[in-house]
Amino acid sequence: MEGLAAARRFVVWARFVASPELAERVVELHGLSKKYAFGDSHVEVLRGIDLTLSAGESCAIMGPSGVGKSTLLACISGLTVADGGSLTVLGSDLLKENDRGRTLLRRKMGIIYQFFHLVPNLTVTQNVALPFLVDGLAPDDRAVEQLIERVGLKGRKEHLPSQLSGGEMQLVAIARALVRKPRLVLADEPTGNVNVETGRRILALFLEVLRESGAALLLVTHHPEHAARFGRVEFLKDGVLAGESALRGEDVTADAVHDRLRSLGI
């Protein structure tokens, strides 16, 4: 009887953990808006984004060039301040945080920027160790080394960014973003500068890390085949996420993503 009760408790617990509705909300946006001033006019880029992302969930964001995908990630990371709506990230109300608060919160995320943002005078190893150093911590040398090897840069540890190819710089940025096992990873086209095989390896690495750590991942990509590896795909068009077009779970296939892009005219 005891065993049966324990098994029931386990099933209830497992359902709780597996349910995206009950899992920790890592990102929660409602009606998020952002415009950029440009001379006398302004460009309204985001016009009311609604998006929630739970722990362990992976979501690809797709949309045409210039639609605001990087802007959306910049708002979530606090690098850009949104104009309106609500934005809760890792439990903090980001729109109420000041510069310092946003910076501290950003350090808890793993961020892969579209243009890498590596520190030019630091080696590969030092760049990957940077997330520890900015928090005044001694780097976890083993974690740094393991990640450099996992992304395939074993022979490049002492190179400077200027001595790397574009794809290799991207891999350094990925290792740096994952080294502290963040609960939220934001990745802006992390497969944009690498060949098909390396792209596959990067996605496999992301999925492995998500499985190990239960992190949430929001990833921008232009490739339907890459988007199809994730649990959910959202499409950004005309400043909003076309909610009714989003794909989830078993509906996410490369063909379905191609179809959606075609029907949305992306």
- Contacts with ligand ATP by CB under 6 A lie at 36, 38, 43, 45, 63, 65-71, 114
Could you say which of Mg ion, ligand ATP, none residue 45 binds, taking C-beta under 5 to 8 angstroms by partner kind? ligand ATP
Considering beta carbons, is residue 124 or 169 the nearer one to ligand ATP? 169
Residue 58 contacts which entry, Mg ion, ligand ATP, none (Cβ below 5-8 A, type-dependent): none
Minimum gap (Å) between residue 102 Cβ and Mg ion: 20
Which one, 68 or 224, has the nearer CB to ligand ATP?
Answer: 68
240 burial type by CB count under 10 A (0-12 exposed, 13-18 middle, 19+ buried): middle
Smallest distance, Å, CB 45 to ligand ATP? Answer: 5
Report the nearest approach of ligand ATP to the CB of residue 185 (Å). Answer: 17
Listed ranges 90-98, 106-114, 151-159, 200-208: which one lies at the site for Mg ion (CB under 5 A): 106-114
Number of Cβ atoms within 10 Å of the Cβ of 215:
22
- Nearer CB in complex with Mg ion: 45/179: 45
Q: Say which entry of ligand ATP, Mg ion, none residue 17 contacts (CB below 5 to 8 A, set by partner kind).
A: none
Query: How far apart, in whole angstroms, are the C-alpha atoms of residue 52 and residue 28?
Result: 4
Q: Hey, what are 254's tokens?
A: 């490369």
